Amino acid sequence: MKPVKVGICGLGTVGSGTFNVLHRNAEEISRRAGRRIIVEQIGARRDNPNCNTKGTQVTRDIFDVAKNPEIDVVVELIGGYDVARELVMTAIENGKHVVTANKALIAVHGNEIFEAAQKHNVMVAFEAAVAGGIPVIKAIREGLSANRINWLAGIINGTGNFILTEMREKGRDFADVLAEAQALGYAEADPTFDVEGIDAAHKLTILSSIAFGIPLQFDKAFTEGISKVTPEDVTYAEELGYRIKHLGVSRRTEEGVELRVHPTLIPEAALLANVNGVMNAVLVDGDAVGQTMYYGAGAGAEPTASAVVADVVDVVRTLTADRDNRVPHLAFQPSSLSDAPVLPIEQTETAYYLRMQAQEQPGVLATIAQQLGDQGINIEAIIQKETSEEQVPVIILTQRVQEGKMNAAIAAIEALDAVHGQVTRIRVEQL
């Protein structure tokens, strides 16, 4: 079958990430999509040293891509409102399917764009516009379609979450952390979009519309930034059992829909309170499912590319498969399943927690450690409890090793006179 041809407009962080993911995972992606996906053309004002575009057509005029008769799917990654809008409309009018990561564009011009897409019978996909690599739009729009959604609340700006996390963990103040975030590249030179909540409001506007079925109304969103949050407030909140997060909250009430972005105290035991650093998470409350949460990287080249490419695969699956086989049961085409074997447990690898009862006498620990060493197993930590008994519990945490070797070491330890009964073994994963 003919490959699907993609044109990428914009070769910044996300554009280069998208190009690289499509290349690196080309084989695996085509096994899922049922068809090869190739980058036919790139439209970008300049090259990006992070990706090797040799062999790919590059034009300085992004509108070339939108009009290129060879191209099936236009991926808009230039950002901003006006030119992006014109580009996407041109692509649609030329019969191209569109994938975009542009939250500002969708939040502000989405209603008009979707109408044009319907008229021209093309798909417009925008998973990457909200919460980067987390497939939260798909989750709400498809996975929760049985529910009357009551509310949703999200940490949907990584820069803001990084700043608030640093303020809490290190007692620093806003301006100080912002300067560091700018130096690290987490925050823009003009941080207004991030710290004043405009970026989050774009995303919340989109989430709110798909949750409650209302038209996109970015101009009605209430937005308050985090620049006035002080270290005192962080400390007092903590005394009260809360943490401060910059949340987007949308709630359905009898009178209408609440749509607001602001610093928010949330209980410290809430899972959302423990989403730290640049990570994003969205909590959704539905009448049937209750609360579900979606967590991951909300920005960055490849996390965002993950969502962009997933949208491309969605489009390709729809174009390619017959109606009843759009998504293969096991994600990969039946003819493309892997013959990788499932390994017997002896060949798997983890770290281990071991607990045993040992004689309280000199040299016992060394003897036990020797049995592990004989199998090439390194020890991470040991706890030996003081007791007045003759036998003491010994707890050992090891580094990663193949289970077969651990079996041999445990057999040798259990054979020692100084060790009584069986060794308890629990596997350890650092995740």
Q: Which residues are annotated as a binding site for NADPH?
A: 103
| CA dihedral for 224, 230, 233, 238, sign (positive or negative) | positive
Give 4's strand partners: 37
Candidates 184-192, 245-253, 371-379, 404-412: pick the segment binding its own copies (CB under 8 A): 245-253
Between 339 and 417, whose beta carbon lies closer to its own copies? Answer: 339
Does 251 participate in binding its own copies (rule CB under 8 A)?
yes
Between 259 and 409, whose beta carbon lies closer to its own copies? Answer: 259
Q: Which residues are catalytic?
A: 203
Between 256 and 373, whose beta carbon lies closer to its own copies? Answer: 256
Q: Are 265 and 132 within 8 A, CB to CB?
A: no
Binding residue (CB under 8 A) for its own copies from 6, 275, 358, 410: 275
Does 34 participate in binding its own copies (rule CB under 8 A)?
no
**SS3 label, residue 415:** coil
Question: What single-letter DSSP state applies at residue 113?
Answer: H
Candidates 69-77, 174-182, 194-202, 279-287: pick the segment binding its own copies (CB under 8 A): 279-287
Binding residues: 9-16, 103, 188
**Distances in Å between the alpha carbon of 264 and those of 74, 234, 249, 283?**
38, 11, 10, 14
Does 222 participate in binding its own copies (rule CB under 8 A)?
yes
Q: Could you give the count of Cα atoms lying within 13 Å of 257 in the half-sphere of its Cβ? A: 24
Q: How far is the CB of 292 from its own copies (least distance, A)?
A: 3
Question: What single-letter DSSP state applies at residue 60?
Answer: S
**Distances in Å between the alpha carbon of 15 and those of 78, 101, 102, 182, 189?**
8, 10, 12, 21, 20
**Residue environment code for 148-175, b if the CB has 16+ CB neighbours within 10 A, otherwise e:** ebbbbbbbbbbbbbbbbbbbbeeebebe
Does 117 participate in binding its own copies (rule CB under 8 A)?
yes
Tell me the DSSP string of 268-326: TTSGGGG--TTEEEEEEEETTTEEEEEEEE-SSHHHHHHHHHHHHHHHHHHHHS-GGGS
Binding residue (CB under 8 A) for its own copies from 11, 129, 155, 283: 283
Residue 232: Cβ within 10 Å count = 9
Does 292 participate in binding its own copies (rule CB under 8 A)?
yes
Does 271 participate in binding its own copies (rule CB under 8 A)?
yes
Between 229 and 409, whose beta carbon lies closer to its own copies? Answer: 229
Touching its own copies, residues 138-197 (CB under 8 A): 138-148, 153
Binding residue (CB under 8 A) for its own copies from 59, 94, 182, 318: 318
Does 17 participate in binding its own copies (rule CB under 8 A)?
yes
Q: Which residues contact 149 (CB under 8 A, 6 or more apart)?
A: 140, 211, 212, 252, 284, 285, 286, 287
Binding residue (CB under 8 A) for its own copies from 4, 107, 116, 309: 309
Binding residue (CB under 8 A) for its own copies from 3, 12, 393, 404: 393
Binding residue (CB under 8 A) for its own copies from 38, 80, 112, 118: 118
Binding residues for NADP(+): 9-16
Q: Which residues contact 81 (CB under 8 A, 6 or more apart)?
A: 104, 105, 108, 109
Between 56 and 336, whose beta carbon lies closer to its own copies? Answer: 336
Match 């930034």 to its residue by tokens.
Answer: 225
State how far the Cα of 78 lies from the Cα of 84, in Å rounded to an integer: 7
Number of residues that bind its own copies (CB under 8 A): 147
Binding residue (CB under 8 A) for its own copies from 297, 372, 377, 413: 297
Candidates 67-75, 154-162, 182-190, 214-222: pick the segment binding its own copies (CB under 8 A): 214-222
Between 177 and 297, whose beta carbon lies closer to its own copies? Answer: 297
Nearest 5°: the CA angle 122, 124, 127 is 155
